[in-house]
Amino acid sequence: MKHDTDKIDEDVLALLFLTAHRERDGYPWRTWKGHDWEVMDRLCEKGFISDPHGKAKSVVFTEEGFAKAQQLFEAKYTKPE
């Protein structure tokens, strides 16, 4: 069975929004990188996050990546009021 990696990437990007944080005002949004390396590499290649390889336990969202993560999270995981 072949997996739809685009759907997997969207779900992981949405879940990365859960741990998004800023260290201080003016700094970029960061998120913990505790997901599958192949998915994280694809998200980096798509321009949504910084390179996940390295000693840091988090990655930086690009502006586009943060906006997409927020949009996906709200569409997939919020209840209508």
Global pTM value:
0.89
Percent of the chain with pLDDT over 90: 80
Counting other chains too, the contacts that 60-65 makes at CB distance below 8 Å and 24 or more residues apart are: 60/28, 60/29, 60/30, 61/16, 61/20, 61/28, 61/29, 61/30, 61/31, 65/13
Task: Specify the pLDDT at position 22.
Answer: 85
- pLDDT below 70 — which residues of the chain? 25-27
For domain 5-77, the CATH architecture is Orthogonal Bundle (1.10)
Task: Specify the pLDDT at position 26.
Answer: 63
- As a whole number, the mean pLDDT across the chain is 92
Closest residue by Cα to residue 17 from 32, 35, 39: 32
Task: Specify the pLDDT at position 24.
Answer: 73
Who's near 51: CB < 8 A, 6+ residues apart? 44, 59
